[in-house]
């Protein structure tokens, strides 16, 4: 068994690999050139979800009169909102650091260069260099936002999500380029805080990588929030004026708008560390190539998380870490498959998905059956007044479930039912046979499964 392990990067993949390795007897050293916890803890998952929880509270207060509660939202203190977000980040960062300390993982602050699978050179933050020798190395250096030609980030007026999450003052208006996961979450946050939002999406619908029915819910959601959406459109020019940004849009309506800030959220790209030129491990999209066991083309060198370009999600990185460490320890492990990786968007209602979309299933299978059920028709939906959302089941041959899509409060938690169903190869009939508690939103999943092979009782 390997005895020493060097990990580059302390994000979700890196720190989990470090803890798992240490718990299994490896001597683990970790190299980090920024802050422990990576983008997820410091600039992504945690701060955005902290702000989304605030946005949901604001929406709840504003909608309270529908429930007979006479309440008025007097003011939103932006600085306190951002301070609450920072507390959440610090708590999460402290937890990650505590795990590393508890498991005796040595954290080296500096920038790593991979000389070979067993040798890493570090430019130390405190000055000087250090060479580390180890039996195995894991690259877990993550990703960064993609900028557009002529619309490069300055994090003052043209923002990445990182810049948006660090604003010191709430902008009066913001144009968001990109109607994907990040774009919708940022739109939800700042719209609730009082910012006028415009979304410009190049494709013909929001959330173009998700199932069309979820896109439909997203579009209704944005309309309810009074967010202007331009699909089939693109930003062709951003000009910085004396007081605001002038943005030219081409597409569904050719126009020029003026906004305080522009947020570009068109995706992320892998960020490999500096590599010795002898290491031929970079793919066509700039990713570090890794197989299903997270092995790169170079023996004893692994890559996990966003840097591999495979499913850029924190929980994907968690799984990558588990697979890589098990392989290093010589344990048998199933390889990585992104088919059963759930994805979630933390808007209100939440959106979640696992497996194939309806379109993908129809391209792959000769037989596809679909079942849907509206959230408003569940007992929980009618009792809470939740009018928006649905559950959708996509089944292939023999009604085996191949895709599950959900829009409702708590969808990012409930999607685990779908993940388990796909993991176990369940059919729609088997899923529908499970007893679901009443009244809950989860009942929509059961009803949708029944609608794959017969009309459910509550469909009429």
Q: Are strands 390-395 and 369-374 parallel, antiparallel or unpaired?
A: antiparallel
The mean pLDDT value of the chain amounts to 96
Q: How confident is the model at residue 335 (pLDDT cuts 50, 70, 90)?
A: confident
pLDDT value at position 460? 78
Q: Which tokens belong to 287?
A: 């990713």
Of all residues in the chain, the percent with pLDDT exceeding 70 is: 99
Among 266, 283, 315, residue at a domain's last position: 266
| Same domain? 322 vs 432 | no
Q: Is residue 127 domain-shared with residue 12, that is, in the same domain? A: yes
458 is catalytic: no
What number is the average pLDDT over the span 229-254?
A: 90
The answer to whether residue 122 sits within a structural domain is yes
pTM exceeds 0.75: yes
Query: Quick one: pLDDT at residue 41?
Result: 96
- Same domain, yes or no, for 94 and 234? no
Exposed/middle/buried for 55, CB within 10 Å: 0-12, 13-18, 19+?
buried
Residue 305's pLDDT is 97
pLDDT at 311 over 90: no
Q: Are 377 and 365 within 8 A, CB to CB?
A: no
Query: CA-CA distance, 448 to 441, in Å (whole number)?
Result: 12
The C-alpha atoms of residue 254 and residue 258 are separated, in whole angstroms, by 14
Print the domain residue range for 416.
349-459
Kindly report the CA angle at 20 between 354 and 318, in degrees rounded to 5? 20
Question: CATH number, domain at 370?
Answer: 3.30.390.30
pLDDT tens for 23-72 read 999 999 999 999 999 999 999 999 999 999 999 999 999 999 989 999 98
Q: Does 343 fall in a domain?
A: no
Tell me which residue of 199, 227, 192 sits closest to 53, measured CA to CA.
Answer: 192
Q: How far apart are CA 48 and CA 57, in angstroms?
A: 14
List residues bridging with 114 in a β-sheet: 120, 275
Query: Per residue in 378-433, pLDDT tens?
Result: 999 999 999 999 999 999 999 999 999 999 999 999 999 999 999 999 999 999 99
Note whether 259 and 273 are same-domain residues: no
The reply to whether 153 falls in a domain is no
E-strand stretches of 117-153: 119-124, 129-133, 136-139, 143-145
Indicate if 366 and 435 belong to the same structural domain: yes
Whether 151 is in a domain gets the answer no
Residues 223 and 118 in one domain: no
Crossing angle between the packed helical segments 181-192 and 45-62, to the nearest 10 degrees: 50
Which tokens in the block code for residue 35?
Answer: 């802050």
Residues 256, 317, single domain; the answer is no
Q: What CATH number should be reported for the domain holding residue 111?
A: 3.50.50.60
415/404 Cα distance (integer angstroms): 8
Q: What is the pLDDT of residues 65-115, one digit of tens each?
A: 989 999 989 999 999 999 999 999 999 999 999 999 999 999 999 999 999
In the chain, pLDDT over 90 holds for what percent of residues?
Answer: 94
The tokens 């190539």 sit on which residue? Answer: 289
* Mean pLDDT (whole number) for 199-219: 97
CB 29 within 8 A of CB 6: yes
Instruction: Identify the three-state secondary structure at position 452.
Output: helix
- Does 349 sit behind a cis peptide bond, omega within 30 degrees of 0 on the bond before it? yes
Express each pLDDT in 156-183 by its tens digit.
999 999 999 999 999 999 999 999 999 9
Q: Are residues 300 and 327 in the same domain?
A: yes
401's torsion region: left (phi>0), alpha (psi -120 to 50) or beta?
Answer: beta
Q: Which of 43, 230, 405, 438 is catalytic?
A: 438
Residues 391 and 451 sit within 8 Å (Cβ to Cβ): no
Using the predicted structure, report yes or no on whether residue 297 has a pLDDT greater than 90. Answer: yes
Which pLDDT score is estimated for 1?
A: 53
User: Is 234 in the same domain as 99?
Assistant: no
pLDDT digits (tens, 9 = 90+) for 379-390: 999 999 999 999
**328 belongs to a structural domain:** yes
Give the pLDDT of residue 241: 79
Residue 367 to residue 428: CA distance in whole angstroms: 14
Beta carbons of 406 and 445 less than 8 angstroms apart? yes
Mean pLDDT of 441-453: 98
Are 303 and 296 within 8 A, CB to CB?
yes
> Which three-class secondary structure state does DSSP give residue 400?
strand
Confidence check: pLDDT of 254 > 90: no
Residues 127 and 41 in one domain: yes
**Whether residue 330 is found in the same domain as residue 354:** no
């Amino acid at each position: 068994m390997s005895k020493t392990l060097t990990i580059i990067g302390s994000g979700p993949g890196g720190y989990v690999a470090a803890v798992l390795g240490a718990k299994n007897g490896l001597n683990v050293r970790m190299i980090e050139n920024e802050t422990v916890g990576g983008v997820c803890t410091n600039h992504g998952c945690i701060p955005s979800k902290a702000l989304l929880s605030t946005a949901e509270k604001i929406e709840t207060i504003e909608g309270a009169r529908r429930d007979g509660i006479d309440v008025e939202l007097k003011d939103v203190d932006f600085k306190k909102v951002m301070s609450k977000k920072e507390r959440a980040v610090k708590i999460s960062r402290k937890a990650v650091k505590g795990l590393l300390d508890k498991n005796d993982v040595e954290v080296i602050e500096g920038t790593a260069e991979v000389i070979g699978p067993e040798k890493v050179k570090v430019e130390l933050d405190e000055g000087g260099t250090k060479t580390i020798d180890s039996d195995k190395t894991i690259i877990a250096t993550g990703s960064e936002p993609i900028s557009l030609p002529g619309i490069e980030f300055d994090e003052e007026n043209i923002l990445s999500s990182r810049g948006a999450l660090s604003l010191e003052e709430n902008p009066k208006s913001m144009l968001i380029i990109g109607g994907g996961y990040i774009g919708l979450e940022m739109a939800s946050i700042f719209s609730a805080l009082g910012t006028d939002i415009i979304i410009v999406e190049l494709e013909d619908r929001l959330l173009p990588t998700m199932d069309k029915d979820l896109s439909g819910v997203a579009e209704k959601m944005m309309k309810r929030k009074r967010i202007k959406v331009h699909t089939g459109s693109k930003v062709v020019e951003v000009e910085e004026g004396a007081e605001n940004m002038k943005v030219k849009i081409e597409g569904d309506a050719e126009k020029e708008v003026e906004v305080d800030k522009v947020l570009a959220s068109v995706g992320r790209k892998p960020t490999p560390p500096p590599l010795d030129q002898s290491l031929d491990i970079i793919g066509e999209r700039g990713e570090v190539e890794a197989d299903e066991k997270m092995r790169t083309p170079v023996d004893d060198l692994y890559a996990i998380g966003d840097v591999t370009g495979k499913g850029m999600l924190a929980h994907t990185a968690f799984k990558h870490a588990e697979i890589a460490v098990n392989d290093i320890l010589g344990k048998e492990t199933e390889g990585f498959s992104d088919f059963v990786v759930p994805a979630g968007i933390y808007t209100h209602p939440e959106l979640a998905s696992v497996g194939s979309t309806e379109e993908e299933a129809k391209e792959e299978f000769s037989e596809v059956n679909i079942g849907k059920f509206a959230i408003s028709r569940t007992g929980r939906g009618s009792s809470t007044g939740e009018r928006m959302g649905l559950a959708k089941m996509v089944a292939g041959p023999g009604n085996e479930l191949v895709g599950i899509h959900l829009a409702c409060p708590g969808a990012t938690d409930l999607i685990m039912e779908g993940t388990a169903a796909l993991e176990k190869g369940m059919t729609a009939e088997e899923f529908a046979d499970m007893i679901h508690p009443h009244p809950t939103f989860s009942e929509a999943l059961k009803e949708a499964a029944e609608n794959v092979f017969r009309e459910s009782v509550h469909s009429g």
